[in-house]
């Protein structure tokens, strides 16, 4: 009965004050109000565990829920759960000339810096930036086709994931979907008759990149160059944001795994009136949507009321500007996505050997990285990393920084292609601690 007696007295011992409990956890680095919440939760839920331990568990849960840098050892270069393209995480607080024209001293446009560089990069007359690829498509359709038709091949009525479905975006924009051709075969004549039959009611023809799937077998599709002969402007949603198929920012030119990927510059050269793409896929920048092409159409987009609702802030524009400047300098090494994508397997093998030797854990293994982010389905890039027996992902995720790895065939795979070289030390420390 001793235990019961002790339990009884414990309930009458005054619990530590919320404030004292919160103060005992300042070493976690969390602000006081969050520690107070953790302390309150710990007191409220009782249980046999020591109250301080319980409070620390709540505080720890808060800390783990915060946005923080993680080590991406999955080998998925554009990992949707990890924010797609890797980006700088923090910057000093500064003012910028976001909407100030420094030459005239008058109010300027937030489309005058990053967007101008993007236009230059794609050899477009003009460009604007919005919050993501989905908003780029939405804005183009709303600005150019509300109350009118937008012709799309039935083979391109895609769902990208996370709720981006072409017919639904179309509906939200107020444009009417004009379906053309069939799922597997669409010809130029199908587009031409759809446009002709609608009188003046088809505003544009939309080409949507089949980013995350392929239609194979008995197929036919219409290229941007062919569509350019139609009487309506062609909008190419290339999605993935490859700027130039020739990849002049890479010393060795385009990698083989990029073959067939549509690019902004070539789509415009082929006659697209506008291209739209994401900032954080193959472009390698922050989450953003880019609309580039004919100046009159870009202006129509910029003037639409939705443009205000979809406009990005200076953080995003500044990050995009940095990436655009790196492209213009042809410095692919300065763009983290392209630096990682072009690493030689032999160099990754050397790093994998060092990680295994220093940690005494796992073994060096060949593996395959993937571009990810809903781009280039089925594409693999030869890589090297460390393989561990069993599923070790929870333990790897529990450290700081968290290390995110992949499990397959009963093993854990840490692909070093997506790990920044400075983070190898974290991988090694984590491997050591697995014991
Ligand atoms: C990814 C993608 C989108 C959506 O872009 P987000 O930046 O994810 O909003 C739209 N269209 C295509 C073809 C895409 O690949």
Count helices and strands in the chain by DSSP H and E runs: 17, 16
How many whole angstroms separate alpha carbon 285 and alpha carbon 236? Answer: 20
Nearest CA owner, ligand 1 atom 11? 239
Tell me the CA–centroid distance for residue 159 and ligand 1, in Å. 9
Q: Which two tokens stand for residue 290?
A: 């880019």
**Pocket-testing residue among 163, 208, 211, 214, ligand 1, by greatest number of atoms within 8 A of Cβ:** 211
Nearest CA owner, ligand 1 atom 8? 133
Atom of ligand 1 nearest to the CA of 278: 7
Tell me the CA–centroid distance for residue 278 and ligand 1, in Å. 6
Nearest CA owner, ligand 1 atom 2? 239
Whether pLDDT at 198 is above 90: no
Q: Kindly indicate the confidence band of residue 202, based on its pLDDT and cuts at 50, 70 and 90.
A: very high
Binding-site residues, ligand 1, Cβ < 6 A? 132-134, 137, 160, 164, 208-209, 211, 237, 239-240, 278, 289, 374
Whether pLDDT at 288 is above 60: yes
Would you state the pLDDT for residue 164? 85
Whether pLDDT at 88 is above 80: yes
The phi-psi region of residue 331 (left if phi > 0; otherwise alpha if psi is between -120 and 50; otherwise beta) is beta
Would you state the pLDDT for residue 11? 52
If you average pLDDT over each of 154-163, 189-198, 199-208, 226-235, which comes out highest? 226-235
**Pocket-testing residue among 150, 161, 237, ligand 1, by greatest number of atoms within 8 A of Cβ:** 237
Would you state the pLDDT for residue 176? 94
Whether pLDDT at 395 is above 50: yes
How many whole angstroms separate alpha carbon 157 and alpha carbon 230? Answer: 20
**Pocket-testing residue among 160, 235, 372, ligand 1, by greatest number of atoms within 8 A of Cβ:** 160
Tell me the CA–centroid distance for residue 164 and ligand 1, in Å. 7
Burial 303-334 (b: 16+ CB within 10 A, else e): ebebbeebbbebebbbbbbbbbebbeeeebeb
Arithmetic mean of pLDDT over the chain: 93
From the list 26, 97, 89, 75, the residue with the least C-alpha distance to 55 is 26
Would you state the pLDDT for residue 144? 98
The whole-number average pLDDT for the span 102-109 is: 94
Query: What pLDDT digit, counting tens, does each position of 146-160 carry?
Result: 999 999 999 999 888
The whole-number average pLDDT for the span 372-382 is: 87
How many whole angstroms separate alpha carbon 254 and alpha carbon 246? Answer: 6
Tell me the CA–centroid distance for residue 134 and ligand 1, in Å. 6
Tell me the CA–centroid distance for residue 191 and ligand 1, in Å. 23
Nearest CA owner, ligand 1 atom 7? 133
Whether pLDDT at 121 is above 80: yes
Atom of ligand 1 nearest to the CA of 279: 7
Atom of ligand 1 nearest to the CA of 209: 13
Whether pLDDT at 224 is above 50: yes
Nearest CA owner, ligand 1 atom 6? 133
Tell me the CA–centroid distance for residue 220 and ligand 1, in Å. 23
**Pocket-testing residue among 263, 272, 278, 280, ligand 1, by greatest number of atoms within 8 A of Cβ:** 278
Q: Kindly indicate the confidence band of residue 6, based on its pLDDT and cuts at 50, 70 and 90.
A: very low
Query: What pLDDT digit, counting tens, does each position of 306-332 carry?
Result: 999 999 999 999 999 999 999 999 999
Atom of ligand 1 nearest to the CA of 238: 13
Would you state the pLDDT for residue 5? 42
pTM: 0.91
Please report how many Cα atoms fall inside a 13 Å half-sphere around the Cα of residue 104, on the Cβ side.
7
């Amino acid at each position: 009965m001793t235990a019961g007696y002790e339990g009884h007295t414990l309930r009458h011992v005054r619990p530590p004050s919320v404030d004292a409990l919160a103060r005992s956890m300042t070493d976690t680095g969390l602000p006081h109000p969050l520690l107070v919440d953790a302390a309150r939760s710990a007191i409220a839920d009782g249980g046999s565990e020591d109250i301080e331990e319980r409070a620390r568990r709540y505080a720890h849960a808060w800390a783990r829920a915060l946005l923080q840098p993680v080590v991406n050892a999955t080998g998925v270069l554009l990992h949707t759960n990890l924010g797609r393209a890797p980006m700088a995480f923090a910057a000093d607080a500064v003012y910028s000339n976001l909407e100030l024209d420094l030459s005239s001293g008058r109010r300027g446009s937030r489309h005058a810096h990053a967007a101008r560089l993007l236009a230059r990069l794609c050899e477009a007359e003009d460009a604007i930036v919005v919050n993501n690829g989905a908003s780029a498509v939405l804005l183009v359709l709303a600005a150019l086709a509300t109350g009118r038709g937008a012709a799309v091949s039935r083979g391109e009525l895609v769902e990208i994931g996370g709720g981006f479905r072409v017919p639904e975006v179309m509906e939200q924009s107020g444009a009417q979907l004009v379906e053309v051709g069939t799922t597997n075969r669409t010809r130029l004549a199908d587009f031409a008759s759809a446009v002709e039959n609608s009188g003046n009611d088809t505003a544009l023809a939309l080409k949507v990149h089949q980013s995350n799937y392929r239609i194979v077998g008995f197929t036919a599709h219409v290229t941007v160059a062919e569509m350019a002969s139609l009487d309506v402007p062609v909008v190419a949603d290339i999605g993935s944001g490859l700027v130039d198929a020739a990849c002049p920012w890479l010393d060795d030119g385009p990698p083989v795994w990029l073959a067939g990927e549509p690019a902004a510059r070539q789509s415009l050269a082929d006659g697209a009136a506008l291209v739209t793409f994401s900032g954080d896929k193959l472009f390698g920048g922050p989450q953003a949507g880019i609309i580039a092409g004919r100046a009159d159409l870009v202006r129509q987009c910029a003037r639409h009321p939705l443009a205000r609702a979809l406009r990005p802030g200076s953080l995003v524009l500044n990050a995009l500007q940095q990436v655009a400047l790196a492209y213009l300098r042809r410095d692919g090494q300065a763009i983290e996505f392209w630096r990682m994508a072009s690493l030689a397997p032999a160099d990754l093998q050397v790093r994998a050997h060092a990680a295994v030797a220093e940690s005494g854990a796992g073994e060096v293994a060949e593996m395959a990285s993937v571009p990810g982010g809903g781009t280039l389905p089925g594409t693999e890039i030869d890589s090297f990393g460390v393989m561990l027996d069993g599923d070790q992902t929870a333990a790897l995720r529990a450290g700081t920084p968290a290390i995110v790895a992949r499990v397959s065939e009963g093993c854990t795979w840490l692909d070093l292609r997506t790990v920044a070289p400075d983070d190898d030390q974290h991988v090694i420390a984590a491997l050591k601690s697995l014991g």
